[in-house]
Amino acid sequence: MPKQFVPLIENKSLFELTMTRNKDICDDILVVSNQEQYFVVKDKIANIKKITKNKLKFLLEPIGRDTAGAIALACMSLDEETIVLITPSDHLIKDEKNYKKVIHQAKKFAQDDFLVTFGIEPTSPETGYGYIQANKNEVISFVEKPDKKTAKRYIEIGGYYYNSGMFMFKAGVFLQQLKLYEADIYTMSKKAISNSKQTNNTIKIDINDMLNIPTNSIDYAVMEKSNIVKMIPSDIKWNDIGSFDALSNEIKNDKNNNLILSNKVVKTINIKDTIVVDTDDALLLCKKGSSQKVKQIVNKLKSTNETLTKIHLTGFRPWGSYTVLQEKSGYKIKNIIVKSNKRLSLQSHKYRNEHWIVVKGVATITINDKIFKLQQNQSTYIQAGDKHRLANDTKNDLIITEVQVGSYTGEDDIIRYDDDFSRS
């Protein structure tokens, strides 16, 4: 579950806070998302009060190619004169009054055909952020993530700002600059948009077109090369919560000076300034101040345990979620939650048989030509090769236990024949 969807701040996700913060500032909202997260995005939006549905559009990427391509695709779907505010959905901004002020300042520059970036007034010598060197609104240089000594020097001499990753410009002006400095990204993005599948509010990019877009960030591709960039110094109480250390700065400690976000009891003895992250399938221990290095651990895991970096024991799907309770050679046990009036695809499996037990709710079951209902504590059996479907036609969540038995129980052993979410 990407961090922007986790309810971290007062039981709200950073995505929800971002949408709420901008829904009254922007005339329209275009959410650029990986297509696997589309239904999570829609669920989170449903929690936001007074958001006008006709203001919302979605651009779905089958695979990420960094920010330059994503922003290019977004701008190509808009009128050239549209002023675009680009904002990540995983940042925390607590001073919304000043936020509106800096957005207003940026809009004036954007109207005059400048590319605008937002520099955050630094509060400490952070090594996890890129920096912008500037004199008022004039950008001098973009600086890579520094070491501690260099970051301290930036704070001492002044004129350096955290690079927020937020931007504003006319869609057409950005595309002109992209075409000038990174023509391949421009050309491949234009092809991807022309080949995309579009409905009233959704744009779906083909995976082959997406793979042809070179991977690059907007900073490297355009901002660091362009001579029409302006920066707005922004004192908006910003935090990108890019590490567990950053998260700890936003949540109050308890009376023992501990910060605990858990329903699980974790006890330690004589440990100080230590971050403990415990999930069902992984345990992380690290010294406070070093949690930025978690990316190095992930890179190492990709070569030794790639599955762990891709699939959590709990998987979220458009119809609900599942949690793997146990997995051994030849079998897997899952807890499955199907949301109200949702159903899984009509599907079959080649290598596994399945046993379903209704724990809570009423299940509507399809097996080949038969359709029937199961109540709590009733069960059924699906043989490998059977076409089957699980549905919840009620107003309450359906919970079942699924036992898979077979020579292979991987998530990719699935053939879809019909699907409400266009995955067949």
- pLDDT tens figures, 26-78: 999 999 999 988 988 988 998 888 777 668 999 999 999 999 999 999 999 99
If asked whether residues 392 and 281 sit together in one domain, one would say no
Of 52-61, 72-81, 229-238, 325-334, which range is least confident?
52-61
The CA-atom distances, in angstroms, between 118 and each of 4, 189, 257 are 20, 25, 34
The CA-atom distances, in angstroms, between 83 and each of 89, 108, 233, 265 are 19, 10, 19, 49
Average pLDDT over residues 275-298: 87
Q: What is the pLDDT of residues 336-355, one digit of tens each?
A: 999 999 999 999 999 999 99
Q: Is 75 helix (H, G, I), strand (E, B) or coil?
A: helix
- Quick one: angle between helices 38-46 and 14-22, nearest 10? 60
If asked whether residues 214 and 293 sit together in one domain, one would say no
From CA 424, how far away is CA 420, in angstroms rounded? 9
Of 121-125, 187-191, 326-330, 387-391, which range is least confident?
121-125
At residue 259, does pLDDT exceed 90?
no
From CA 378, how far away is CA 371, in angstroms rounded? 15
If asked whether residues 319 and 227 sit together in one domain, one would say no
Q: Provide the domain limits for residue 287.
A: 254-305
Output the pLDDT for position 54: 61
Does the residue 247 lie in any domain?
Answer: no
Out of 305, 328, 348, pick the residue that ends a domain.
305
If asked whether residues 83 and 213 sit together in one domain, one would say yes
At residue 82, does pLDDT exceed 70?
yes
If asked whether residues 201 and 53 sit together in one domain, one would say yes
Of 82-86, 139-143, 254-258, 354-358, which range is least confident?
254-258
From CA 6, how far away is CA 44, in angstroms rounded? 10
Q: Which two tokens stand for residue 52?
A: 């006008």
Output 384 or 288, whichever has higher pLDDT. 384
The CATH number of residue 376's host domain is 2.60.120.10
Residue 128 pLDDT level (bands cut at 50, 70, 90): confident
Backbone angles phi, psi at 93, to 5 degrees: -130, 115
Does the residue 210 lie in any domain?
Answer: yes
If asked whether residues 124 and 181 sit together in one domain, one would say yes
From CA 209, how far away is CA 76, in angstroms rounded? 15
Output the pLDDT for position 308: 79
Q: What is the pLDDT of residues 236-252, one digit of tens each?
A: 999 988 888 888 888 88
Output 173 or 305, whichever has higher pLDDT. 173
At residue 392, does pLDDT exceed 80?
yes
If asked whether residues 132 and 36 sit together in one domain, one would say yes
At residue 162, does pLDDT exceed 70?
yes
Output the pLDDT for position 261: 79
Of 11-25, 155-169, 208-222, 410-424, which range is least confident?
410-424
Out of 205, 239, 273, pick the residue that ends a domain.
239
Closest CA relative to residue 209, chosen from 76, 380, 38, 110? 76
Q: What is the pLDDT of residues 189-200, one digit of tens each?
A: 999 999 999 988
Average pLDDT over residues 118-128: 90
Residue with structure tokens 């959905």? Answer: 89
Tell me the average pLDDT of the chain.
Answer: 93
If asked whether residues 333 and 289 sit together in one domain, one would say no
Output the pLDDT for position 326: 93
Are 332 and 398 in contact by the 8 Å Cβ rule? The answer is no
If asked whether residues 58 and 143 sit together in one domain, one would say yes
If asked whether residues 167 and 192 sit together in one domain, one would say yes
Does the residue 423 lie in any domain?
Answer: no
Output the pLDDT for position 53: 63
From CA 203, how far away is CA 212, in angstroms rounded? 18
Residue 11 pLDDT level (bands cut at 50, 70, 90): confident
If asked whether residues 40 and 126 sit together in one domain, one would say yes
At residue 258, does pLDDT exceed 90?
no
Average pLDDT over residues 109-118: 98
From CA 354, how far away is CA 322, in angstroms rounded? 15
User: Structurally, how many domains does the chain consist of?
Assistant: 3
